[in-house]
Chain A
Amino acid sequence: MEIIIKFIVRSIKENKFRTFLIIFAVALSGALYFASTSLSDSLVEIYTNKMRQATGNADIMIFPKRGSPAGVISEAPALRLKDKTHYIIKAISGTGRYKIANKNYERISLTGMTLNDYKKINDLELAEELGGASFESNSIIISKMTAEKYHLNIGDQMEIYIGDVRRNIKVYGIALPTGMFLDESQESKALISYRSLCDYMQTKGKPTTIYIKAADGVSVDSLIGELQKGYPKYGVEEPFSKEQIYDNTSMLSMPLLLMTLIVTFMSIFIIYSSFKVITLEKLPIIGTFRSIGASRKMMDKVLLMESLFYGVAGGLAACAIGIGILYIMTQYTTPDSIKEYIEIKINISFIKLAITFILSVIVCLISSMAPIIKVSKIPLKEIVLGNIVSKKKRKIRKDVLGILCIIAAFILPIISSRSLSAVLSGLSVILTLVGIINILPIIIKSTSKISEKLFYKVFGNIGILAVKNIKGNKSILNSIALITIGVVTLLMINNISINVSVEVINFYKKTCISDMEVWMNNMDKSSVRGLLRHEGVESVYPLYGTYGIEVKELGEKLGCIESIQDESYTKYIQFDYMGKQKELLSEINNDRYLIMTVIMKNRYDLKEGDKLTLKFPSGDRVYTILGFVNTFMWNGSFALAPDTYLKNDTEAKYYNSAYVKVKGDPKMVLESLKKQYSDRYLGGMTIEEMLNANKESNDQLMSMLIGFSVLALIIGSIGVINNLIISFIERKQSLAVLRSIGMSKKQVIQMLFIESLYSGSIGGLVGIGGGIIVMKIVPYILEAMQVPVPTYLVPGVLWIYLVGGMAITVLASISPAKRSSKLNIIEAIKYE
Chain B
Amino acid sequence: MSNWGEKVENIIETIGLCKNYQLGDTTVEILKDINLKIKRSSFYSIMGPSGSGKSTLLYLLGGLDKPTEGSIKINGKELSKMKDEEESRMRRNDIGFVFQFYNLIPNLDVEENIMLPILLDGKKLKDYKESLDEILEIVGLTERRKHTPRELSGGQQQRVAIARALINKPEIIFADEPIGNLDSKTGIEIMKLLQEINVKQGKTIVQVTHSREAAEYGTDLIMVRDGHICESK
Contact at B107–A471, with CB atoms within 8 Å? yes
Does A745 have its Cβ within 8 Å of any Cβ on chain B? yes
Residues of chain B contacted by A472 (CB below 8 angstroms): 106-107
Does B193 have its Cβ within 8 Å of any Cβ on chain A? no
Q: How far is the CB of A774 from chain B (nearest CB, A)?
A: 31
Which residues of A732-774 have CB atoms within 8 Å of chain B's CB atoms? 733-734, 736-747
Proximity string of chain B (129-171) to chain A, C-beta cutoff 8 Å, 1 when within and 0 when not:
0000000000000000000001000000000000011001000
Contact at A746–B85, with CB atoms within 8 Å? yes
Known: A744-B84, A745-B84, A829-B99. A468 touches B120 (CB 8 A): no
Contact at A741–B92, with CB atoms within 8 Å? yes
Q: How far is the CB of A639 from chain B (nearest CB, A)?
A: 63
Q: For the complex, would chain A's binding face be called helix, strand, loop or mixed by DSSP majority?
A: helix
Q: How far is the CB of B148 from chain A (nearest CB, A)?
A: 9
With CB as the reference atom, state the residue of chain B lying closest to A745. Answer: B84
Does B89 have its Cβ within 8 Å of any Cβ on chain A? yes
Residues of chain B contacted by A8 (CB below 8 angstroms): none
User: Size class of A's contact patch?
Assistant: 20 to 34
How far apart are the CA atoms of A471 and B120 in the complex, in Å?
A: 19
With CB as the reference atom, state the residue of chain A lying closest to B58. Answer: A826
Proximity string of chain A (719-733) to chain B, C-beta cutoff 8 Å, 1 when within and 0 when not:
000000000000001
Contact at B107–A465, with CB atoms within 8 Å? no
Contact at B120–A742, with CB atoms within 8 Å? yes
How far apart are the CA atoms of A739 and B95 in the complex, in Å?
A: 12
How far apart are the CA atoms of A48 and B65 in the complex, in Å?
A: 74
Does B75 have its Cβ within 8 Å of any Cβ on chain A? no
Residues of chain B contacted by A471 (CB below 8 angstroms): 107
Does B105 have its Cβ within 8 Å of any Cβ on chain A? yes
Which residues of B83-97 have CB atoms within 8 Å of chain A's CB atoms? 84-85, 87-93, 95-97
With CB as the reference atom, state the residue of chain B lying closest to A744. Answer: B88
Does A700 have its Cβ within 8 Å of any Cβ on chain B? no
Most A CB contacts (10 A, CB to CB) among B91, B93, B168 go to B91
Contact at B119–A461, with CB atoms within 8 Å? yes
Q: How far is the CB of A609 from chain B (nearest CB, A)?
A: 66
With CB as the reference atom, state the residue of chain B lying closest to A825. Answer: B64
Contact at B84–A473, with CB atoms within 8 Å? no
Neighbour of A747 across the interface among B55, B96, B120, CB < 8 A: B120
Residues of chain B contacted by A743 (CB below 8 angstroms): 88, 92, 120
Residues of chain A contacted by B92 (CB below 8 angstroms): 741-743
How far apart are the CA atoms of A464 and B119 in the complex, in Å?
A: 8
Contact at B84–A468, with CB atoms within 8 Å? no
With CB as the reference atom, state the residue of chain A lying closest to B109. Answer: A468
Neighbour of A742 across the interface among B65, B88, B106, CB < 8 A: B88
Neighbour of A468 across the interface among B95, B108, B165, CB < 8 A: B108
Known: A468-B107, A734-B106, A746-B85. A741 touches B65 (CB 8 A): no
Contact at A738–B120, with CB atoms within 8 Å? yes
Does B76 have its Cβ within 8 Å of any Cβ on chain A? no
Does B122 have its Cβ within 8 Å of any Cβ on chain A? yes
Proximity string of chain A (445-474) to chain B, C-beta cutoff 8 Å, 1 when within and 0 when not:
000000000000000111011001101110
Proximity string of chain A (807-825) to chain B, C-beta cutoff 8 Å, 1 when within and 0 when not:
0000000000000000001
Number of A-B contacts (CB under 8 A): 87
Does B81 have its Cβ within 8 Å of any Cβ on chain A? no
Which residues of A462-519 have CB atoms within 8 Å of chain B's CB atoms? 462, 464-465, 468-469, 471-473
With CB as the reference atom, state the residue of chain A lying closest to B86. Answer: A744
Which residues of A373-402 have CB atoms within 8 Å of chain B's CB atoms? 389
Contact at B120–A461, with CB atoms within 8 Å? yes
How far apart are the CA atoms of A494 and B97 in the complex, in Å?
A: 53
Contact at A465–B88, with CB atoms within 8 Å? no
How far apart are the CA atoms of A154 and B41 in the complex, in Å?
A: 113
Q: How far is the CB of A739 from chain B (nearest CB, A)?
A: 8
How far apart are the CA atoms of A825 and B174 in the complex, in Å?
A: 15
Most B CB contacts (10 A, CB to CB) among A464, A465, A733, A741 go to A741
Residues of chain A contacted by B59 (CB below 8 angstroms): 825-826
Contact at A741–B107, with CB atoms within 8 Å? no
Residues of chain A contacted by B90 (CB below 8 angstroms): 742
Most B CB contacts (10 A, CB to CB) among A389, A462, A472, A738 go to A738
Neighbour of B105 across the interface among A734, A739, A747, CB < 8 A: A734
Residues of chain B contacted by A469 (CB below 8 angstroms): 105, 107
Q: How far is the CB of A528 from chain B (nearest CB, A)?
A: 80
Q: How far is the CB of A268 from chain B (nearest CB, A)?
A: 27
Known: A468-B112, A746-B84, A829-B99. A741 touches B117 (CB 8 A): yes
Contact at B120–A741, with CB atoms within 8 Å? yes
Residues of chain A contacted by B89 (CB below 8 angstroms): 742, 744
Contact at A389–B97, with CB atoms within 8 Å? no
Contact at B108–A740, with CB atoms within 8 Å? no
Most A CB contacts (10 A, CB to CB) among B90, B96, B103, B125 go to B103
Known: A468-B108, A741-B117. A826 touches B91 (CB 8 A): no
Contact at A473–B107, with CB atoms within 8 Å? yes
How far apart are the CA atoms of A630 and B62 in the complex, in Å?
A: 77
Residues of chain A contacted by B95 (CB below 8 angstroms): 742
Contact at B64–A741, with CB atoms within 8 Å? no
How far apart are the CA atoms of A516 and B118 in the complex, in Å?
A: 75
How far apart are the CA atoms of A733 and B117 in the complex, in Å?
A: 16
Q: How far is the CB of B72 from chain A (nearest CB, A)?
A: 15
How far apart are the CA atoms of A738 and B112 in the complex, in Å?
A: 12
With CB as the reference atom, state the residue of chain B lying closest to A472. Answer: B107
Q: How far is the CB of A679 from chain B (nearest CB, A)?
A: 84
Most A CB contacts (10 A, CB to CB) among B95, B106, B107 go to B107
Q: How far is the CB of A179 from chain B (nearest CB, A)?
A: 72
Residues of chain A contacted by B104 (CB below 8 angstroms): 737
Q: How far is the CB of B104 from chain A (nearest CB, A)?
A: 8
Contact at B119–A465, with CB atoms within 8 Å? yes
Residues of chain A contacted by B103 (CB below 8 angstroms): 733, 736-737, 740, 829
How far apart are the CA atoms of A465 and B107 in the complex, in Å?
A: 11
Residues of chain A contacted by B150 (CB below 8 angstroms): 389
Neighbour of A741 across the interface among B85, B112, B116, CB < 8 A: B116
How far apart are the CA atoms of A389 and B151 in the complex, in Å?
A: 11
Contact at B117–A740, with CB atoms within 8 Å? no
How far apart are the CA atoms of A461 and B108 in the complex, in Å?
A: 15
How far apart are the CA atoms of A465 and B105 in the complex, in Å?
A: 11
Residues of chain A contacted by B108 (CB below 8 angstroms): 468
Most B CB contacts (10 A, CB to CB) among A471, A473, A743, A825 go to A743
With CB as the reference atom, state the residue of chain A lying closest to B167. Answer: A741
Residues of chain B contacted by A746 (CB below 8 angstroms): 84-85
Contact at A825–B88, with CB atoms within 8 Å? no
Does B37 have its Cβ within 8 Å of any Cβ on chain A? no
Residues of chain A contacted by B65 (CB below 8 angstroms): 825-826
Residues of chain A contacted by B125 (CB below 8 angstroms): 461
How far apart are the CA atoms of A744 and B103 in the complex, in Å?
A: 18
How far apart are the CA atoms of A829 and B120 in the complex, in Å?
A: 19
How far apart are the CA atoms of A468 and B120 in the complex, in Å?
A: 13
With CB as the reference atom, state the residue of chain A lying closest to B56. Answer: A826
Does B7 have its Cβ within 8 Å of any Cβ on chain A? no
Proximity string of chain A (337-375) to chain B, C-beta cutoff 8 Å, 1 when within and 0 when not:
000000000000000000000000000000000000000
Does B121 have its Cβ within 8 Å of any Cβ on chain A? yes
How far apart are the CA atoms of A523 and B85 in the complex, in Å?
A: 88
With CB as the reference atom, state the residue of chain A lying closest to B62. Answer: A740
- List 19 additional A-B contacts (Cβ < 8 Å) besides A465-B119, A740-B91, A745-B88: A389-B150, A462-B120, A733-B103, A738-B105, A740-B64, A740-B99, A741-B164, A742-B89, A742-B93, A742-B117, A743-B92, A743-B120, A744-B85, A746-B84, A746-B85, A747-B88, A826-B65, A829-B103, A830-B55
In the complex, 13 of the A-B residue pairs with CB atoms within 8 angstroms, ordered by the A residue number, are A460-B122, A461-B122, A465-B119, A472-B107, A473-B107, A734-B106, A739-B88, A741-B97, A741-B116, A742-B90, A744-B85, A825-B65, A826-B64
Binding site for A on B (CB under 8 A): 55, 59, 62, 64-65, 84-85, 87-93, 95-97, 99, 103-108, 112, 116-123, 125, 150, 164-165, 168
Top 4 nearest A-B pairs by Cβ distance?
Answer: A742-B92, A744-B88, A742-B91, A472-B107
Binding site for B on A (CB under 8 A): 389, 460-462, 464-465, 468-469, 471-473, 733-734, 736-747, 825-826, 829-830
